[in-house]
Chain A
């Protein structure tokens, strides 16, 4: 009983840890996107698309953590 509880608690902790990296990554990507659009506003549309793609790829890691919390 206690082992099961500890295991399910550890899954949540593991998911929390898995979100740190993507969180930082998306933050940095957003920083770069904002800086670049401030310097060259006419490219903002294209930069935003690239930002979304990069954020989606970084987010994949968090999503893998989310899935692993369910299946392991």
Chain B
């Protein structure tokens, strides 16, 4: 049997496994596999954060507690103080929540058999809209309603240019929510698709090699396997980097909305 034909037959099954399959309930009132894993990620996040906050000591004596504390410190120093600057302290709980939830969601997806909640566009849209509403809320709070709308366009422009620039800035502001959502979704989905394709190719080639007793088919899986491990390592990096990028962009948008131009 030709492994490539078999591979082409099996790819639709792989694609189908990324669809939001319903775990229980109906399509209008029920739960898909991504929502199921999202709730599990919520529980893990809450368990980690609450468990660690009970064991906080002045001198760190627990490696795990110290690690989570370092993560919080990373959000506070690198993202909060670095990107927002003055008055960053009140935004840290929001940013830390986003960071830990996205980080844990991305890492849960890397365990074979688990799904990443951020691998579906609905969850990332929800996260992006939360971020969008949050920075607009703080922008309105900082400048007042009309002042915030005016502050979208930079001050000091010649009169006739103001509506044009305002329009472009407004479009770019709406695009912020879109790009936040699609960046996270695209990275997680594409990464898992690449991992899935190579894992599928390895299993099909080895299956054909065993079935036909043809050792030529056993050669490509060696290369695939090396590539798969390398891609997996890259995905671990991407999982962290995307959580970082999402959080730091939220921080930058908050600082853009609240700072006076």
Contacts and interface: CB of A to CB of B under 8 A. Distances in A.
B113 to A, nearest CB: 28
B183 A63 contact: yes
Nearest to B246: A56
A59 B178 CA distance: 12
A34 to B, nearest CB: 17
Contact of A66 (B83, B182, B249): B182
Q: How large is the interface on A (under 10, 10 to 19, 20 to 34, 35 or more residues)?
A: 10 to 19
Contacts of A64: 175, 178-179
B102 to A, nearest CB: 14
A57 to B, nearest CB: 9
Nearest to A48: B78
Overall SS of chain B's interface: helix
B252 interface: yes
A53 interface: yes
Contacts of B175: 60, 64
Interface in A43-72: 45-46, 49, 52-53, 56, 59-60, 63-64, 66-67
A63 B248 contact: no
Contacts of B179: 56, 59-60, 63-64
B248 A53 contact: yes
Given A46-B82, A49-B78, A67 B178 contact: yes
A46 B186 CA distance: 27
Interface of A: 45-46, 49, 52-53, 56, 59-60, 63-64, 66-67
Given A45-B82, A67-B178, 6 more contacts: A56-B249, A63-B178, A63-B179, A63-B186, A64-B175, A66-B186
Nearest 9 CB-CB pairings of A with B: A60-B179, A63-B182, A63-B179, A49-B82, A56-B245, A56-B249, A63-B183, A67-B182, A53-B252
